Structure 1
Amino acid sequence: MDPVFEYERNVTRRTLLGRSARGIGGAALASLLQPELFNGSAQAETTIPEGVKKIAPKAKRIIYLFQSGGPSHVDLFDYKPVLKKLHGSDLPDSVKGTQRVTGMTARQKSFPVVAPFWEMKQCGQHQTWISEKLPFTQTIADDITIVKSVHTEAINHDPAITFINTGSQQIGYASLGSWLSYGLGSENENMPAYMVMLSQGTGKNPGQPLFDRLWGSGFLPPSHQGVKLRPGSSPVLYLSNPAGIDRKQRRKLLDDLATLNRGQAEAIGDPEIQARINSYEMAYRMQTSVPGLMDLSSETEKTFEMYGPEARKPGSFAANCLLARRMTERGVRFVQLFHRGWDQHVSLKSQLPNQCLDVDQPSAALVKDLKQRGLLDETLVIWGGEFGRTVYSQGKIGSPSSGRDHHGRCFSIWMAGGGIKQGFEYGKTDDFCYNIVENPVHIRDMNATILHCMGIDHRRLTYPYRGLDAKLTGVEEAHVVKGILS
């Protein structure tokens, strides 16, 4: 063979990658022979990218109660008594400004102010204003911080929910839970670091679709994507063994398959192959861990009563909150619950109370349950959606079919637990709940703060992508919201 040709063949990109990946098979074998090196605190220390963990963490785990559709901060948290006097008046141009609105209200000739339909009550030692439609949340006022000055540029659902979950309005980026999995690893080798559950509001509003990319790993290794649990007897698709295959046979099959995959990985150096090996092994371990997680027989009657009448109903928000607590006890790093149905463009007066009824008691119960078990101090709980709602009416004011449009210029979320002040409010909006007048908090700042509570400097948690060191907080400047930290 021509020596020049041989030289050129040996330095091809594929060959270079193949030779540089010789150690993958050995690492995979070590994970099987000595799993203690790859789980718990050991994994958390060995898989952290260099330079990431530079902050003493206040929280070990996160439960994110995501309210898909945009809960109305005007009606739930942002108390403005002057709205009763302004009810029916047109929103002043000086307040509305030039910011574009959605196509659903852009052609309205007027923008009549609508005061909240329900009263708010001062709760807890801090006298926090919370809607009467959230009576159980009122009881945890001394445990939560309400951030009233969150804002986003996105005004439509899909870009907005993508933005707050991945740090970009464009698809293809890694989700918050995937970043945490990548940066901190898992505390339990038998459970994924990131788990997701979905629920649907009981009202007539079906809500916006939720796509798997919202909990996807994007450009990060696939092993960091969220694992979605479904209600019913098969919570994870394809987890059970096929008919006629027992666990011993499954183990033999996976061992043989891993041998073939490691050989292929050594030959071509494709990192996706190692991710495939990891996924197969995780699925095998989940065959024993997931049934135990889903078995609620050990829960007391008092616990079910605390979470509410739907706590025994698989797939309900209440049942998912209870499962989230059980996952936290098992060391799952990030649990995210998506609850659809908050998009009240119409029939706000009838739809919003139904949504509150779905989530109020379980959300408060989760905080109380974590607290009584000594888990709240190390668990960060977050409640909120992708944006808020307008103070002006969509449709004819006073009509039963009227609602509120999207509003990203300001909205409210609440947080509790690891690293967050108790019984506190942060940020302030104008008298119309329309513009921020004090302590603005961009969603990038929220994500930076979440990472900070978990012991991660958001500027250091990076991954090479498209020629950049990609970050959850993007290329724009983001700040940790120190004013809400305990």
Structure 2
Amino acid sequence: MDPRNLDLCSDHCGEGPSILDLPIPSELKQEWWNLATRRQFLSRAGKSLAWAGLSAIAGRSGFSGLAQAAQEGFVPHFAPKAKRAIYLFMAGAPSQLETWDYKPDLVKRFNEDLPESVRGGQLLTGMTASQSRFPVAPSVFNFNQYGHAGHWVSDLLPHTAKVADEFAVIRSMHTDAINHEPAILLANSGNMVAGKPSIGSWVSYGLGSMNEDLPTFVVLTSKLPIYKNIQALSSRLWSSGFLSPEHAGVALRSGGDPVIHLSNPKGVSRKLRREMIDGVSEMNRKLHEKIGDPETNARIAQYEMAFRMQASVPELTDLSGEPESIWEMYGPKAKEPGTYAYNCLMARRMAERGVRFTQIFHRGWDTHTDLPNSMKVLCEDIDRPTAALIADLKQRGLLEDTLVVWGGEFGRTVYSQGGLSADNYGRDHHPRCFSMWMAGGGVKPGMTYGETDDFSYNITRDPMHIRDLNATILHLLGMNHEKLTFKFQGLDQKLTGTQPARVIKELLA
């Protein structure tokens, strides 16, 4: 008998056969054994590890965030370009034809049918599959070139155009999903099925914290600038999945306590709360010594973080010290909690305080009808604050090691959904090509990656899948997407999944 079996039986099974002797597939036995022996190790060394972890969490030692990550077995695989990331996610899919992918020749094709040779028998959504025609709808908005790089930028984004030299535009993004729910999940978790860890959770798991008083991964959802075709958002997009819950995104609210139940109940002082947490933590430590479940230490850490956040979050959200020049940059909406402008200013403040991964969600981009009017409202809401965030990070010396990503889950069709007039049209979902941009944190500024055909319908050069984007984000943060794994259900799970993914090195400075 494998001597490991005796050890496992003595600690877990009592008398009788070992788990390794049962008719279970060998790879599942090995996974169970790995988990079991890890629990044994943690149990036997539990007190020292628990106290070491707590001392790091509570700031009673000199451990840095990276040292804490190393204690868990993870450190950057190589020197990172970026220390932190801010992901500006436009849920609903912004049209590339009205933002970054300029197609001037489409004006001459107004209302012509999209050639079948271009459409190529593509699977269509139920919203346009029954159309008898697919009339080409040129954008009604003008484009101009900006910066030394000469990026073509829509007139809808005049403020963002002023910082064009700071970012790289990707015109050749593509994805596997044609509907919002699976596409948003794929972009945020690498899988079209709910339940997998989000990208921010993977970053937290791989790198650990940079700030002992704030969460590693923070989520901000923005107030709606428009009330039609709104995509639902839920915690599945910032879930930690099968990773420890300490890696899940913490959503800050726009009203009341920024974090629900953050304030002490009436009659409970901070001293009493401290005593309560100490008591619960002591019980959890004893439970850990007896059972060795690593999730117990995660619970202790979460209680400690919640206690410290009672002091750190109010300071974070107190904007009274921001000078007038900042309000001028971000615009008047930045003074209204929950707006996109407010969230962008909060993202800068979190970058200053060492939050590792910040994600801002903005909704309303599902422009099936009345696209020109909707796009005016949406772009006006995000343009000035986005440009301000880039400029503000740069003036503080933070942009060089802060990665900023902007984009949605897929693009929009060149043909109009429903009717078409010279100044009104809509666009359906389009996964074959769409545009995003990246700035700071090791990205080569001012470049354009990839090209599409004359209809912005098919990619003609340098395709970049959403999995490639996630692999590149991890690379810029110092992680190899192939090595950042977690054993679950018999597989070495990773953000980029089992399909091929590659780092787009042309985008790296």
Tell me, yes or no, whether TM beats 0.5. yes
Is 2:75 the counterpart of 1:43? no
Residue in structure 2 matched with residue 27 of structure 1 by the alignment: 49
Check 1:6–1:112 CA distance in 2 against 1; reply closer, same or farther (3 A cut).
closer
Instruction: Name which of 297, 300, 303 aligns with 2:323.
Output: 300
1:47 and 1:184 in contact (8 A); partners too: no
1:200 and 1:341 in contact (8 A); partners too: no
Instruction: Name which of 428, 432, 435 aligns with 1:412.
Output: 435
Whole-angstrom CA distance in 1 between matches of 2:407 and 2:383: 12
> CA offsets, 1:262-290, max 9 Å, x none?
22233333333222111111101111110
Report the number of matched residues: 481
Q: SS of the residue aligned with 1:290? A: helix
Residue in structure 2 matched with residue 105 of structure 1 by the alignment: 128
2:369 and 2:425 in contact (8 A); partners too: yes
Residue in structure 2 matched with residue 480 of structure 1 by the alignment: 503
Whole-angstrom CA distance in 2 between matches of 1:469 and 1:314: 41
Whole-angstrom CA distance in 2 between matches of 1:387 and 1:113: 19
Deviation at 1:44, TM superposition (A): 4.3
Whole-angstrom CA distance in 2 between matches of 1:24 and 1:108: 65
- In the TM superposition, what are the counterparts of 1:224-303 in structure 2 within 5 Å? 224-303=247-326
Deviation at 1:399, TM superposition (A): 8.1
1:241 and 1:247 in contact (8 A); partners too: yes
> CA offsets, 1:402-457, max 9 Å, x none?
41111110000011001111111110000000000000000110011001101111
Whole-angstrom CA distance in 1 between matches of 2:277 and 2:14: 38
One-letter code aligned to 2:52: A
> CA offsets, 1:464-485, max 9 Å, x none?
0111101111111111101111
Q: SS of the residue aligned with 1:405? A: strand
Residue in structure 2 matched with residue 360 of structure 1 by the alignment: 383
Check 1:237–1:10 CA distance in 2 against 1; reply closer, same or farther (3 A cut).
farther
Q: SS of the residue aligned with 1:383? A: strand
Whole-angstrom CA distance in 2 between matches of 1:422 and 1:19: 49
Comparing 195-204 with 283-292, which one deviates more in the overlay? 195-204
1:19 and 1:267 in contact (8 A); partners too: no
1:112 and 1:393 in contact (8 A); partners too: yes
Is 2:142 the counterpart of 1:142? no
Deviation at 1:56, TM superposition (A): 1.8
Q: SS of the residue aligned with 1:310? A: helix
Whole-angstrom CA distance in 2 between matches of 1:483 and 1:6: 54
Measured on the aligned residues, the alpha-carbon RMSD in Å equals 2.1
Check 1:180–1:454 CA distance in 2 against 1; reply closer, same or farther (3 A cut).
same
- In the TM superposition, what are the counterparts of 1:331-350 in structure 2 within 5 Å? 331-350=354-373
One-letter code aligned to 1:145: A
One-letter code aligned to 1:419: G
> CA offsets, 1:227-254, max 9 Å, x none?
0000133000111111111111111111
Instruction: Name which of 202, 206, 214 aligns with 2:225.
Output: 202
Deviation at 1:17, TM superposition (A): 7.6
One-letter code aligned to 1:178: S
Residue in structure 1 matched with residue 454 of structure 2 by the alignment: 431
Residue in structure 1 matched with residue 7 of structure 2 by the alignment: none
Check 1:7–1:225 CA distance in 2 against 1; reply closer, same or farther (3 A cut).
closer
Q: SS of the residue aligned with 2:359? A: strand
TM-score where L is the length of structure 1? 0.95
Deviation at 1:21, TM superposition (A): 3.4
Whole-angstrom CA distance in 2 between matches of 1:392 and 1:447: 29
Whole-angstrom CA distance in 1 between matches of 2:497 and 2:71: 26
One-letter code aligned to 1:456: M
Instruction: Name which of 187, 194, 211 aligns with 2:210.
Output: 187
Q: SS of the residue aligned with 1:477? A: coil
Deviation at 1:15, TM superposition (A): 9.1
Comparing 235-244 with 256-265, which one deviates more in the overlay? 256-265
1:48 and 1:184 in contact (8 A); partners too: no
Q: SS of the residue aligned with 1:21? A: helix
Whole-angstrom CA distance in 2 between matches of 1:463 and 1:15: 15
Comparing 53-62 with 200-209, which one deviates more in the overlay? 200-209
Q: State percent identity of aligned pairs.
A: 52
Is 2:355 the counterpart of 1:325? no
Whole-angstrom CA distance in 2 between matches of 1:340 and 1:121: 26
Check 1:77–1:27 CA distance in 2 against 1; reply closer, same or farther (3 A cut).
same
Whole-angstrom CA distance in 2 between matches of 1:29 and 1:305: 47
One-letter code aligned to 2:51: L
Check 1:19–1:45 CA distance in 2 against 1; reply closer, same or farther (3 A cut).
closer
Deviation at 1:9, TM superposition (A): 6.8
Deviation at 1:213, TM superposition (A): 1.1
Q: SS of the residue aligned with 1:82? A: helix
One-letter code aligned to 1:311: A
Whole-angstrom CA distance in 1 between matches of 2:429 and 2:40: 53
Residue in structure 2 matched with residue 173 of structure 1 by the alignment: 196
Gaps of 5+ in 2: 1-9, 20-31
2:157 and 2:383 in contact (8 A); partners too: yes
Is 2:481 the counterpart of 1:458? yes
Comparing 119-128 with 12-21, which one deviates more in the overlay? 12-21
Check 1:67–1:24 CA distance in 2 against 1; reply closer, same or farther (3 A cut).
farther
One-letter code aligned to 1:8: E
Whole-angstrom CA distance in 1 between matches of 2:52 and 2:507: 43
Whole-angstrom CA distance in 1 between matches of 2:326 and 2:69: 32
One-letter code aligned to 1:110: R
Check 1:155–1:303 CA distance in 2 against 1; reply closer, same or farther (3 A cut).
same
